[in-house]
A and B are shown apart, each in its own frame.
Chain A
Amino acid sequence: MSASSPLLAELIDALRCLPGVGGKSAQRMAIQLLERDRGGGRRLASALEQAMERIGNCSRCRNFSEDEVCAVCANATRDPHILCVVESPSDLAAIEQATGYRGQYFVLLGRLSPLDGTGPEELGLHALAARLEEGEISEMIIATNPTVEGEATAHYLGRLASAAGIRATRLAHGVPLGGELEYVDRSTLAHAFGGRQAVE
């Protein structure tokens, strides 16, 4: 079918760049848009075009933003003295939704991983160090993932904070709520055991 129309073939091929979309799904999506929802297709095309052209990174926190400074950084009601460092924009969204955190963010867009070619420069740590030097931040919450690379990143960030004389804190590790110890993996259990707290 796609042989009849080079444009359709190109559309199917282009849709395959989406995660989880192979040849079959791409063909279904393309045909659905052409057959039943040309309006939706045009909207998608224009939203994609706009987003790809205009969304850049916030100059303060590196999160996606079409403005120089994103809405979170520009929000004057948020606490300017606490900074939470996360690996990705989706981590930021998760913290925003789950916690009542009202401070600032910094998005690394990755983690220290020599074998993936990400070092301090790629994570924008110069910008972060400059921000710590401004003197307004009093606590840095390190919310990198509890993986080996995330822990290495946390250690590096901790050194940055202590060099700037700022208190650094790390998210706690623990057993998931509603879980059973028997089924918790041993490294999580060991972390939770090591980080036990007094009962109040």
Chain B
Amino acid sequence: MLLVQQQPAYVLHARAYRETSLLLECLTRDHGRLGVVARGVRGPRSRLRRADLEPFQSLALDYSQRGELATLRGVEPIGALNRLRGDGLLSGLYVNELVVRLCARQDAQPGLFDAYAEILSRLDAGAAPAWPLRRFERDLLQALGYAMQLRYDAQDGEALDPQAFYRYQPDGGPERCGPQTPQAVRGEDLLALADDRCPDDDGLRRLRVLMRDVLRFHLGGTELRAWRMLRPGPPPALR
């Protein structure tokens, strides 16, 4: 049996398990995504507090592991309370769905934990979510070994022309195309993402469409549920 102590982690999702337990999906620093059973935490005499196991809070977990699921032994919140609000909260739920859907359990990806911690702190600080989300998506794909090729034309190997239009192939890279091509992005949008510079609003909009396309490819063509609640403007239920 493996005993792990004081492992930095975040809860990504919690669901009811058996009568009084919770099954947590956690993102740990050293062991990647991990399923953890919190025994009896929903019961009236639990030593662990349900409120400590909410998503987005930085935690130190003690757990033991035999087989695929770990058993929670102790939990301690670290640092300030993370209080995502409003659109940042919806974005955070999207990030969690993305991590659960793309990362296999117990497959540690160095860099992913830091990228996750960083986007939470940006959303917590009340930043507009679009650019932090694009950066996180880029870093997540890189951590998983699907790094995007953002500097060279995939067909001729030439450096991207900032003013030209490209169609991004999820399994290849940018290919030059006409400005009318659906989902075309400008060279400068891709270079901005590569150089970590925030593009203008139009560029952000084009990158959003592009990243959805790339993520859909890596998700095997399926949609994320969170996309349905992230549409900008008035909620879709009113349209």
Q: Give A residues with C-beta under 8 Å from B.
A: 19-20, 112-121, 125-126, 128-129, 133, 147-149, 151-152, 155-156, 159-160, 163-164, 185-188, 190
Contacts and interface: CB of A to CB of B under 8 A. Distances in A.
Contact of B51 (A126, A152, A187): A187
B45 interface: no
A159 B86 CA distance: 10
A120 B230 CA distance: 11
Interface in B80-131: 81, 83-87, 89-90, 92-94, 96-97, 100
Centre residue among B81, B84, B229 by max chain A CB count within 10 A: B229
Contact of B100 (A115, A121, A133): A115
A8 to B, nearest CB: 25
A16 to B, nearest CB: 13
Nearest to B97: A114
Contacts of A151: 85, 89
B55 A117 contact: no
Q: How large is the interface on B (under 10, 10 to 19, 20 to 34, 35 or more residues)?
A: 35 or more
A151 B89 CA distance: 8
Contacts of B51: 185, 187-188
B2 to A, nearest CB: 26
B238 A114 contact: no
Interface stretch (B146-154, B196-204, B209-217, B220-228): B220-228
B86 A148 contact: no
A153 to B, nearest CB: 9
Contacts of A188: 51
Contacts of B96: 114-115
Contacts of B87: 155
B52 A152 contact: no
B219 to A, nearest CB: 13
A interface, over-half SS: helix
Given A120-B237, A129-B238, A160-B238, 10 more contacts: A114-B96, A114-B225, A115-B97, A116-B15, A148-B89, A152-B89, A156-B229, A163-B235, A185-B52, A187-B81
18 contacts: A19-B19, A112-B90, A112-B93, A115-B96, A116-B15, A119-B228, A119-B229, A120-B228, A133-B238, A147-B54, A148-B93, A152-B90, A155-B87, A163-B238, A164-B238, A185-B49, A186-B77, A187-B52
A125 B83 CA distance: 25
B78 to A, nearest CB: 11
Nearest to A164: B238
Nearest to B13: A115
A129 B234 CA distance: 11
B145 interface: no
B56 interface: yes
B54 A156 contact: no
Given A149-B93, A185-B49, A185-B52, A119 B225 contact: yes
A152 B93 contact: yes
A115 B228 CA distance: 12
A151 B86 CA distance: 8
B157 interface: no
A101 B93 CA distance: 32
B236 interface: yes
